[in-house]
Chain A
Amino acid sequence: QLLLQESGPGLVKPSETLSLSCTVSGGSISSGVYFWGWIRQPPGQGLEWIASIDYSGTSHYVPSLRSRLTVSVDTSQNQFSLKVNSVTVADTALYYCVRQRRAINERGAVDIWGQGTMVIVSS
């Protein structure tokens, strides 16, 4: 059974960089049939897809945050990571790492989620 586990600081100061990692266990991140992504959820609000990457390093970002996001993959460690630059209080959210399907008849379905890691932006 494939599992995803997020790690990172729970508290980040405004204007600093948020760095999160996701460790994949029970399967290989090098499978070409999936994207590996990040979805966030501000407290009491809905879900927002923000970034995804495949095993080769091809990345995709939500346009509204593109200039502040970097997603990367480390196949040797079976991990992928997210950096958010110049954070503000608006970046306070529960951040989930996820697996997204690529197959043509099930494209984009997020079938595996990490438990989520809460990030608070505050001085």
Chain B
Amino acid sequence: DIQMTQSPSSLSASVGDRVTITCRASQSINRNLNWYQQKPGKAPKLLIYAASSLQSGVPSRFSGSGSGTDFTLTINNLQPEDFATYYCQQSYNNPRGTFGQGTKVEIK
């Protein structure tokens, strides 16, 4: 099975900051990597697919990069509504897809 490791598991940031979350796969997954945002009591929301493609309706302050085993989610100009938990998901063997353990972004 492909394992996904996210870091950090949590971080504190201020409104206006740039936040970077990384995700590492246990083997190459090309660009088959998706990012999700989950707020308390809500279903996750797709932010980025295929490593760097912005899902329709998602603000452009969200961006993704990477290929192979190392990937990054960047949030520029962090907004109050961005405080949430973020998950990466590999989809190399679609539809089988494992998630990272999550990164909680909290208010500093």
- B102 and A108 contacting across the interface, CB-CB below 8 Å: no
Cβ of B1: which chain A residues have Cβ within 8 Å of it?
Answer: 63
Q: Which of B43, B53, B102 contacts A113 (CB 8 A)?
A: B43
Tell whether A26 is near chain B: CB-to-CB under 8 Å. Answer: no
- B44 and A113 contacting across the interface, CB-CB below 8 Å: yes
Cβ of A37: which chain B residues have Cβ within 8 Å of it?
Answer: 95
Tell whether B74 is near chain A: CB-to-CB under 8 Å. Answer: no
Whole-angstrom distance between the Cβ of A57 and the nearest chain B Cβ? 14
- A109 and B34 contacting across the interface, CB-CB below 8 Å: yes
Whole-angstrom distance between the Cβ of A8 and the nearest chain B Cβ? 16
Chain A, interface size category, equals: 20 to 34
The CA of A83 and the CA of B36, in the complex, are separated in Å by 26
Q: Which of B50, B100, B102 contacts A109 (CB 8 A)?
A: B50
Nearest A residue (CB) for B85: A46
B interface, over-half SS:
loop
Q: Which of B43, B55, B87, B95 contacts A96 (CB 8 A)?
A: B43
- B49 and A109 contacting across the interface, CB-CB below 8 Å: yes
Nearest B residue (CB) for A52: B95
Q: Which of B44, B55, B94, B99 contacts A48 (CB 8 A)?
A: B99
Please provide the chain A residues from 50 to 101 with a CB less than 8 Å away from any CB of chain B in the complex: 52, 60, 62-63, 96, 100-101
Whole-angstrom distance between the Cβ of A48 and the nearest chain B Cβ? 7
Cβ of B53: which chain A residues have Cβ within 8 Å of it?
Answer: 105-106
- Beyond A63-B1, A116-B43, whether A107 also contacts B99 by CB under 8 A is no
- A100 and B43 contacting across the interface, CB-CB below 8 Å: no
The digit string for B79-108, where 1 denotes a CB below 8 A from any CB of A, is 000000001011110111111111000000
Tell whether A47 is near chain B: CB-to-CB under 8 Å. Answer: yes
Q: What are 22 contact pairs spanning A and B, CB under 8 A?
A: A35-B94, A46-B100, A47-B36, A47-B99, A47-B102, A60-B95, A96-B43, A100-B94, A100-B95, A100-B97, A102-B94, A102-B95, A106-B49, A107-B91, A108-B32, A108-B94, A108-B95, A109-B50, A109-B91, A110-B44, A111-B46, A111-B55
Extra contacts besides A52-B95, A62-B96, A63-B1 (8): CB < 8 Å: A46-B87, A46-B100, A47-B87, A102-B95, A108-B90, A108-B92, A109-B46, A114-B43
